[in-house]
Structure formats: C-alpha cells, structure tokens
A and B are shown apart, each in its own frame.
Chain A
Amino acid sequence: MTTRPVFVCSAGAVTAAGTGVESLAAALEDPVWDAPVGLERPDGPPLPVAACRDFSPRNVLPPLVARRLDRPARLLAVAAREALAALGDPLPWDRTQVGITAGTWNAGTSALVDVLRAVFLTSPEEAPPAQFPSTVANAPASQLGILERLGGPNLTFAEKQASGLRAVVEAGRLLAHGRAAAALACGVDEGDWLNAEGYARLGVLVNPPGRVGMRLGEGAVALSLAPEPVGTPLARLAGWASAGSASEPWLYPDRPDALVSACLRALEAAGRAPSDVDLVLSLANGIPYLGGLELAALEGVLGDHRPAVLSTNERLGEAGFASLLRVAVAALAIAGRARPAWAPAPHLAAMGYPPVTTRPRTALVTALAGGGSCLATVLTTA
C-alpha cells in the first residue's frame, strides 16, 4: 500500500436543503432547520423521506441533456458539475485519467418499477426499452462519465448505508495505486416509494411522526479527490479502513467490534491518536439500537475523550449517499466553509458529547451498513 496523500479538493451537493454546497452550509448553520418530509406513493399516505422537492437541473444541465437522464442521474450530474466547476476549466488532469466511484442504496428502483409495471400490467413487449439501462445501479455514474467525458475507472458500490463512504475509500485506493490521476467520489439515492415502503413494512421508518425510527433521504454528493492539492483543498483524506461483522442483511450487527477496529485502523493509517479527533460525524438515524451500538463503538475508540459530534442523518435522511454527505460536511467544517450548529442526537448529548463550537482539525467519519459492513475515514486539515 502506498502512502500517497489524498486531498478533498472540492464538493458539490444536492440535498433536501437545496442545490449546492452553500445551501447545505446555510442549513447546517441554522440550529432549528429541518427538511421538508414526505414522498408521495400510489394509493397510500406519503412516506417519511427527506426529498429534494424543489430540485431542478434547469440551471446546470441543458434541457436536451436533462431529458435523457433519469432522476438519480440528474441529481448526481448537478452535484458533480458543482464539484468540477470549482476545479477550473479545463480540468487540471486529462479527462481520460479521471475516475468515478459511486455509492448508492437504491439507484435504478424507479426505472425498475416502470419496466415491471409494463410486464405485469400490460405485456413484456410494452416495456420501455429506454428505461432498462437506468435500472442498473451504475447508471448514474455511467451517465456522469458520458456527460463529462471522464474515462478513468468507473465503479459503483452497493453497500446500503455505507455505500457513499465506500465510494470515498475506493477512490482513495484508486489514487493510491495510480489507477487514476483524480477521482470523483459520489453518492446518490432517489426518493422512491417502493424502497421506502419496504422499510416502512419492516417497521423502521418514523411513521407516524414523533415515534422512533428513521426517515430516508434523497440527494447526491460529489467530492473531487486528488493526490495533489488543487486550489485551496477542503481537507485531506488521511486514513481509511473497513471491516465486517456478521448479521442478517437487513439488521445491524450485535456488537461494535468491527466498527471499533475500522476506526482504530483508520486513525493509525492517518497517523492520529483517538485524542486528536475533535469532530465525529454521527451514524445516528433515529433507530435506538444503532444509537446504542454507536455509543459503544465510540467508547471503544475514544475512551473518555469527548469530541464534538454532529448528527446529519436525522434531518437530511438516511441513505446510501448519506455517509458521503457526512464526509462532505466534515470537509466543509474543517475548511471553515460551514459552521454547523446542529446539536448532537439526544443520546449522544446525554453522554457528554458536545456540539461543534470551533473549527475542527481532525474528523472521524464512519459508516455501518445493515449486514455488518463497516468503514471509517479520517479527515484532517489540508
């Protein structure tokens, strides 16, 4: 393994807070901001999804381009264009050497339902051929590669809640091995009723409001990563690690060991001690069991140390891209581009974890997927 540095050079985002990193930063700085929640579905009440209700690609993508993209591809294209625009034109690298890594939980589900609607309600011959390529989860990243003429490795990962962080880790690995000169680490999820209804049937969504449970999220995030700084980088991706523990694919594991292991190894790779961490991006998503698991993991990693904690999932929604969103928020905070004012989740605050009050220098961002795959990354000042 090499020790080449990896810089987070720029960011782009489309979230329930709006389009653009500035919208996200503005929401983070408002202590009482909350996302509009509600996703329509056929013959049922809305589902608890923090959707990008006002999203339009109009100001970013030409109409003819936008028309041939489905919603996840549009979300990602708009986020990626923001990240790329910050790097200048032309890009500092040959576009054939720029890779894309993407993480998603549910990209393609809406297209899948459209195709199957034809199969089940009319005839297979009526299935819309143009929709089929959008049913594959790699479609948004592929469309982005075509749109931006990026010819480096193009990899999509499916790892449920951890998908976005996987994209960061694998982008780092591509750069470390010289497989790309730069990479866009991306995450994208659409608000789709089938996926949300499945989780509602599992009983894990916060429905009706006021009860425990999670809300799902919709959006896209793109981070440009490179082994050399471009402009004023937001942060440095200093270390990463992953591990797994066994559980049913839709359940969290029953012990925090793998998450602790991933965190400690990521810190070691970053050359940082647990006491150096001054910001933790929390996993908290409204599911009490996960809250307890994370608390145990933090105790295993940090001991009595109590860095600031920021919880974003409970407002912006749980999703595959949400773990990448946490990296983006950490990078923006480290760069001083956002001053998050959101309080930690109550169970974390009760254990003495304070809110963010100063500009952090070392952030720990983790992810834990149903099924037990864990990742940890450490971001530091550039």
Chain B
Amino acid sequence: MEDRTPGVYRCVGPDGSLYSAAVKDVWITGIGLVTALGPDRETTWRRLVAGESGIRALTLFDPAGFRTSIAAQVDDAALPAVDLPRHASRATRFALIAAAEALADAGLPADGDSRPWALAMGGGAAGLFETEGFIARRLRRGRQARGLTEFLELLQDTPTDRLAARFGLGGPRLTVTTACSSSTLSVGMAAEMISDGLAPVALAGGADAICRLTYTGFNSLRAVDLSPCRPFDRSRQGLTVGEGAAVLVLEDADHARARGATAYARVLGYGATNDAFHMTQPEPSGEAWARTILAALADARIGPPDVDYVNAHGTATEQNDAAECAAYQRVLGERLARVPVSSVKGALGHCLCGAGGIEAAITSLAIARQTVPPTVGFAEPDPACPVDPVPGGGRPHVVKHAISSSFAFGGNSGVLVLGSCR
C-alpha cells in the first residue's frame, strides 16, 4: 500500500458514511526521556541497545511484606537540576525534566506565554506516592492527622497542569487515563489535534512514578516476577514495576520545515479499541488486539506488509505475551518470523501510564537510527510466542514503518503507527 501523504481524503466511516478528512503530516522533532536506565534520552538509548537493564533493588520504600523487592526505579540522584514548583511530586519532576529535554532537542524555546500549543499526557499515579504518606497517617491517627500539601498532586492531571504552567502552553490540554495505554493514546490524540489544525505544536507523552498502591496491586495479583522480568521468554513469570517519563514534541511538518527542524519520525496514525472481555485478563485468541492493530494501520493508511518493526507491550506475564503474539500472528501472518518484535520492559520495567510514551519515544529512535532495541532478559524461546524478540543487544534493521502497542487493564487498547521521514 502507498504511504499516506498530506492532503484531503474522502473517507468511509464505520457506519458507511462518506466524509472528508484533511491530513497534515505530523513530525516528532524532539524527545525527552527519564527512565531507570538514565536521566535523559541518549543515556537511555545507549544502555538499552547495549542490552543493559535498569531493574534493581527498590529503595523508594521498604519492600518488606511484598513478594518482590525489585523495580525499574529511576535514580533520583542522577536527574538534572530543575526548578521545581512547591509540593511537586516525583512524577511531576520526571515530566518537567523530560519536557525540557524534548523542547531543547527540538530547538524550541522553553519559555513562553499562552503559546497555542496542545498538550496531551497520560495520567497515572501522579503524586500518589507522596499522598500515601498522608493517607497512612490519616488511617492510623484519625482525623487529627496533619497534612495537606502532600495531597495537592494526587490527581492524575497534575503533571499535565504543571507542564502547561512551566512551558506557557495555552492550547488544548488533556490527560488520558486508560492505565497502561494512557500515553500511547495521548501521543495519537495529540497528533490528531495537529492534523486537525488545532495546534502547530504539541507536547505529548506521559509520566508515572512508583507508589505503594501499584506495587501492592501487582503483587496481590501475583503478576510480578521475583527476578527481573523476561518478556516472551519461556520461563517468564510476570512483570517488573517501573517508572519514568517521556515527552515527545509533535509538530506540523510545515511548521517544522519552516524553522529548519529535523524529525526522528512521523506519527502516521493510531488505533483505539476496547476488548470488552475482562478487567485484567487479555482476550486469549488475540482477536481483540488484532482489531486494535488493524484499526491503527487503517488510520495510517498502510497495510500489514508495510510493518517493519513492532515495539510490543510485552509485559512478561504469561497471558499478555501469548495473547499479544497471537494478535501479531493474526495481523502479520507468516511475515511475523521476519519482523522483529521487542519489548523494552525487560530493561525499563512496566512504567504503566508512562510506558506507552516511553515506548513511542524508543520506537521513534529506532526509526531514526535504523536500529531495533533488544528484549533484555529474553533467553529461551516460547512456542506460545513465535516472534523474533531481538535477544542480546540492539540490531541494525531497516525500519520504514513501525507500530508501538499498549494493551491496558480494562481492555483499553491503543496502537501507534510511526513512520520514517526519509
């Protein structure tokens, strides 16, 4: 199929009606990352393609009483200095650092006032780690327990509001909260806002920080591996909780060209569907997730034969990886053997509402550098996961089109399609 180009298209909606859709080319011109592998984009990428892991002993709180004691925790001491607002949570700090890096990378000024740029972020635990201190006192000591400031960043959209205030963003602003697909969808929706002409530039991505609630939750569901997670591996036993942030600068290509900017990749489209199956279990046949992938490819106006790389959700739970591979099998057929399918969660952990943004950033770098990242932790193939997970380290590979998948709690699935600008 032909790659999509900007213009006005006659489209057929799912109800059969015809309508016109203007399509603007949306470039990714800046990337900022904060992960367990490093406090910035280049450190994260370098260590990732070297096959290193950011999973280590959890130090954020005492893991006594939990099944596991490891996490892909960000090294706070390594983070660059940033002028933090009062009462800022770790999640906000991650988001501010990633956004500052992304803007600098794009060559756009950090300062501004009511700039008509859009902002779309995936919202996760936000300041819950900090709020947990108040909740613990409140539950133990009753209403007399003091506390207010720890409460101020509890809401999921707080990091989004902080970014808008810090960088002077006055355009449309939204916070998607669909668990693990939040920031995949935020990138897709931000690109759509640019494509619709609602903003020339958008910041998009997500941030999430480890807290006792999520650590407890996955422990209680018996969904965690006692060792660092091993996506697609035959002996995988679950995920490793992670944290971090990614912010991507998305830009109308005409706007970017006019100022001489270059791009990592293009956002070609996204798909969003609901499994309508179970709150925590994936639909095992892969049919539901195949529908999401096909919706994304249709939105991007490319077909399965055009996919060169898959950045998988790859949580390393037995059910997720098998269902996900079944979905890729349905979509890619026998080509699946030749299309690398890797999961960065083996190195970065599952960053929950920040995961999709981080993976979109990594996928963009893979396209720009024609190198696919490895699945760290993978050792032994699983017949239930008949994919090439790129074991070991990064691998040179021609990537013109790639997909980045996120399949969340509640069946809220999202898939991005990114393409090369070359």
Interface residue ranges, A against B (CB under 8 Å): 1-4, 41-44, 93-97, 99-100, 105, 112-113, 115-121, 123-125, 127-129, 132-133, 135-139, 141-143, 145-146, 148-160, 166, 170, 173, 176-182, 194, 197-198, 201-202, 227-228, 242-250, 257-258, 369-373
Contact = CB atoms under 8 A, between A and B. Distances in A.
A4 B10 CA distance: 13
B213 to A, nearest CB: 6
A305 to B, nearest CB: 26
B5 interface: no
Interface in B1-29: 11-15, 17, 19-22
Query: B85, B274, B280 — which one has the most chain A CB atoms within 10 A of its CB?
Result: B274
B275 A151 contact: yes
Contacts of A247: 161, 165
Contact of B177 (A93, A121, A123, A156): A156
A111 to B, nearest CB: 10
Given A127-B220, A145-B410, A246-B164, A194 B135 contact: yes
Contacts of B412: 138, 141-142, 154-156
Nearest to A320: B155
Given A128-B220, A227-B17, A246-B168, A137 B177 contact: yes
Contacts of A125: 65-67, 219-220
B152 interface: yes
A138 B179 CA distance: 7
Contact of B410 (A93, A120, A154, A178): A154
14 contacts: A42-B143, A94-B14, A96-B273, A105-B155, A136-B409, A151-B273, A151-B291, A154-B410, A155-B176, A157-B176, A227-B17, A228-B17, A245-B114, A369-B157
A372 B217 CA distance: 32
A364 B31 CA distance: 38
Contact of A120 (B13, B135, B272): B135
A132 B216 CA distance: 9
Interface of B: 11-15, 17, 19-22, 65-67, 85, 114, 119, 123, 128, 132, 135-136, 138-140, 142-143, 147-148, 151-158, 160-162, 164-165, 168-179, 185, 189, 192, 196-198, 212-213, 215-222, 272-280, 288, 291, 295, 299, 408-412
A118 B22 CA distance: 52
A142 B318 CA distance: 22
Contacts of B218: 132
Contact of A4 (B19, B151, B165, B215): B19
B140 A154 contact: no
Contacts of A373: 157, 161, 164, 173-174
Given A143-B279, A151-B276, A159-B157, A243 B139 contact: no
A194 B168 CA distance: 32
Query: A95, A136, A137 — which one has the most chain B CB atoms within 10 A of its CB?
Result: A136
Interchain residue pairs A-B with the least CB separation, the first 9: A142-B410, A371-B161, A178-B13, A132-B217, A154-B274, A153-B272, A158-B156, A246-B165, A244-B173
Nearest to A105: B155
A124 B220 contact: yes
Nearest to A118: B216
B298 to A, nearest CB: 10
Contacts of A93: 15
A68 to B, nearest CB: 9
Summarize B's interface: helix, strand, loop or mixed. Answer: mixed
B15 A158 contact: no
A232 to B, nearest CB: 19
Contacts of A41: 143
Summarize A's interface: helix, strand, loop or mixed. Answer: mixed
Contact of B136 (A116, A133, A137): A116
Contact of B155 (A139, A160, A228): A160
A116 B17 contact: no
Contacts, number: 269
A249 B135 contact: no
Contacts of A159: 157, 173-175
A132 B215 CA distance: 10
Contacts of A143: 279, 410
Contact of A142 (B67, B175, B411): B411
Nearest to B13: A178
B417 to A, nearest CB: 14
Given A151-B291, A158-B177, 8 more contacts: A116-B212, A120-B136, A124-B65, A127-B219, A132-B216, A141-B410, A246-B170, A249-B161
Contact of B172 (A180, A244, A250): A244
A121 B219 CA distance: 17
A250 B410 contact: no
Contacts of A194: 135, 138
A136 B411 CA distance: 12
Contacts of A158: 123, 155-157, 175, 177
B142 A154 contact: no
A159 B147 CA distance: 24
A136 B279 CA distance: 11
B288 A151 contact: yes
A244 B164 contact: yes
A198 B151 contact: yes
B12 A178 contact: yes
A150 B274 contact: yes
A368 to B, nearest CB: 12
Contacts of A173: 192, 196
A142 B139 contact: no
A57 to B, nearest CB: 18
